[in-house]
Structure 1
Amino acid sequence: MKEHGERMKGRRIGFLGGGSMAGALIRGLLHSSTVTADQIQASDVKEERRAELERVYGIKATDDNEALVRWADVVVISVKPQIVDRVLGSIAAGLGEGDLVVSVAAGVPIEAIEARLPSSARVIRSMPNTAAIALAGATAIAPGSHATREDVEVARALFEAVGRCVVLDESLLDAVTGLSGSGPAYVMLMIEALADGGVKVGLGRDTALLLAAQTVYGAAKLQLETGEHPGRLKDMVTSPGGTAIAGLHTLEAGGLRRTLIDAVEAAATRSAELGEQMAKKLKR
């Protein structure tokens, strides 16, 4: 993370909206020593949330969006998509030359963001997931028309403080939403089902849930750290005539592989539909 600290040295990061994703990013930035608390400020309409942010993270919190934007040189749009239009309109005048705007607002296209900011605004759109709260997020970022290579590296440093980050074309963000954006829900369902299986064969609920969650975590960590194809790692567990192959046969018979592929496709399609609706709304 040392290179991230160098990249973010002297940066002033302002979070417009202090909800759970903003909190995860703030926590990750501080936990990884990417920045210090005096380099972060956040705004929120709720007084109790502002107090919590100041108490937990030692940062300054405000209800003045315009003042926050004038202070910051990296502005993170972390409000609900439904109010992005209103927020962008209120901050456009406060943006300085060279300021970077990073959006975590799901479904809001770069074009719609750029249209409400100064013509030279440097924008990066992101699609993080909820695992960022546990500093194990998966994020894709897409640069806007004026974003520089340095801007992309700053955004990478921001999101790699809470997990892993890839840089893609904006046209692929719906696919990312279907896979990693919605993926934690699929995995939670699998953990719950595995735990149910454990209970069925005699384990206590708490023990079954712990073993199921740790097994999923460990399997994912093994693949990420070894870089091996998951099929090869699967084969390492699968001995001839053994227990794993009996379980895998049941999963294949139940169509697990196809069902997961269909789930990603369905979520990506829905993401594209919602994005089109949001784009139409913002063009009014």
Structure 2
Amino acid sequence: MKLGFIGLGNMAKAMIGGIIAKGLMGPDDIIGTAATEETCAKVAKKYGIQTLSSNAAVAKEADIIILAVKPQYLKVVIADIMDNVDDSKVIVSIAAGKTINWLQNEFEKQVKIVRVMPNTPALVLEGCSAVCRNDLVDDDNYKFVKELLGSFGKAYTVPESLMDVVVGVSGSSPAYVFMFIEAMADAAVEGGMPRKQAYEFAAQSVLGSAKMVLETGKHPGELKDMVCSPAGTTIDAVHVLEENGFRGTVMNAVTACIEKSRSL
């Protein structure tokens, strides 16, 4: 079994690192290519994988081909590889906004397609990936792809109709969280805390809070109420957030992201 990456950017590197770290596949089982020789050389040196000179070469050798390029480059990539793709290969696309039907039409033939929306916490093996497939992908192939995705986080099957929603709530949301951490740290710095320490306190609080949601099974509102003592400091802070439209702003941001994904 050969796994091929077309595109060796941050997400591809996160996937390769997780797959190798979990022992699902070895470096000898993974090949890839990128737009520049410099990128290929760096990835080959870091992970020990073989890099090839063209998209077509990767598609010819690989059994599972991961399209890890930006949506605007997919047409060109598919044109490069379509003659080397047959019904024995599985195509995995991580591009936002490009549906299975769109991919199928670009290949101009029946192709096994798995569509994935991962996110950047995959870089620290805490990613969250949404997955769906077309009818040509059998259960064994689909299970294996999900195992690969599970090597760097969680992988959940969703209907394709929700993929754009996944982009808003998961794919792009690390950026919102980073802004929140940065804003909290800025306030702590204003209060006199050294910046490095401020980032550590803010980030650890977000990490721990997220873990409480996932592990306790409690509603986020219930967990919030547990922190808000009567006439205490937290409820005053919550009041300010509500007064300034915190929840509505976050909802609007996620909705804008979803709509952008739908328009790609």
Q: TM-score when scaled to structure 1?
A: 0.87
In structure 2, what is the equivalent of residue 124 of structure 1?
114
* Superposition map of 1:204-223 within 5 A: 204-223=194-213
Distance, in Å, in 2 between the alignment partners of 1:254 and 1:97 is 54
> 1:70, 1:96 within 8 Å by CA — same for their partners in 2?
no
In structure 1, what is the equivalent of residue 61 of structure 2?
71
* Superposition map of 1:4-153 within 5 A: 11-117=1-107, 119-153=109-143
> 2:67, 2:93 within 8 Å by CA — same for their partners in 1?
yes
Q: CA deviation at 1:118?
A: 5.9
> 1:14, 1:75 within 8 Å by CA — same for their partners in 2?
yes
Distance, in Å, in 2 between the alignment partners of 1:118 and 1:12 is 24
Please list the CA deviations of residues 37-70 of structure 1 after superposition, one character each: whole Å capped at 9, or x if unmatched. Answer: 1111111231111111111101111113222222
In structure 1, what is the equivalent of residue 261 of structure 2?
271
Q: CA deviation at 1:147?
A: 2.2
Deviates more, 1:184-193 or 1:155-164: 155-164
In structure 2, what is the equivalent of residue 196 of structure 1?
186
> 2:97, 2:263 within 8 Å by CA — same for their partners in 1?
no
Please list the CA deviations of residues 179-217 of structure 1 after superposition, one character each: whole Å capped at 9, or x if unmatched. Answer: 111211111111111112212222122221221111111
Aligned length: 264
> 1:66, 1:90 within 8 Å by CA — same for their partners in 2?
yes
Q: SS where residue 107 of structure 2 aligns?
A: coil
Distance, in Å, in 2 between the alignment partners of 1:170 and 1:83 is 21
Distance, in Å, in 2 between the alignment partners of 1:94 and 1:188 is 41
* Superposition map of 1:149-160 within 5 A: 149-160=139-150
Q: CA deviation at 1:170?
A: 1.4
Distance, in Å, in 2 between the alignment partners of 1:142 and 1:32 is 23
Please list the CA deviations of residues 86-113 of structure 1 after superposition, one character each: whole Å capped at 9, or x if unmatched. Answer: 2112212212432110001222221121
Distance, in Å, in 2 between the alignment partners of 1:248 and 1:215 is 16
* Superposition map of 1:231-250 within 5 A: 231-250=221-240
Q: SS where residue 261 of structure 2 aligns?
A: helix
> 1:195, 1:205 within 8 Å by CA — same for their partners in 2?
yes
> 2:5, 2:32 within 8 Å by CA — same for their partners in 1?
yes
Distance, in Å, in 2 between the alignment partners of 1:246 and 1:151 is 52
> 2:56, 2:80 within 8 Å by CA — same for their partners in 1?
yes
1:256 aligned onto 2:221: no
Unaligned runs of 5+ in 2: none
Distance, in Å, in 2 between the alignment partners of 1:29 and 1:144 is 24
1:229 aligned onto 2:219: yes
Distance, in Å, in 2 between the alignment partners of 1:152 and 1:245 is 47
Q: What letter corresponds to residue 77 of structure 1 in structure 2?
A: L
> 2:87, 2:112 within 8 Å by CA — same for their partners in 1?
no
Distance, in Å, in 1 between the alignment partners of 2:85 and 2:91 is 9
> 1:139, 1:165 within 8 Å by CA — same for their partners in 2?
yes
Q: What letter corresponds to residue 44 of structure 2 in structure 1?
A: E
Distance, in Å, in 2 between the alignment partners of 1:152 and 1:225 is 27
Distance, in Å, in 2 between the alignment partners of 1:169 and 1:152 is 14
> 2:60, 2:85 within 8 Å by CA — same for their partners in 1?
yes
Distance, in Å, in 2 between the alignment partners of 1:226 and 1:31 is 28
Q: What letter corresponds to residue 43 of structure 2 in structure 1?
A: L
Distance, in Å, in 1 between the alignment partners of 2:261 and 2:107 is 24
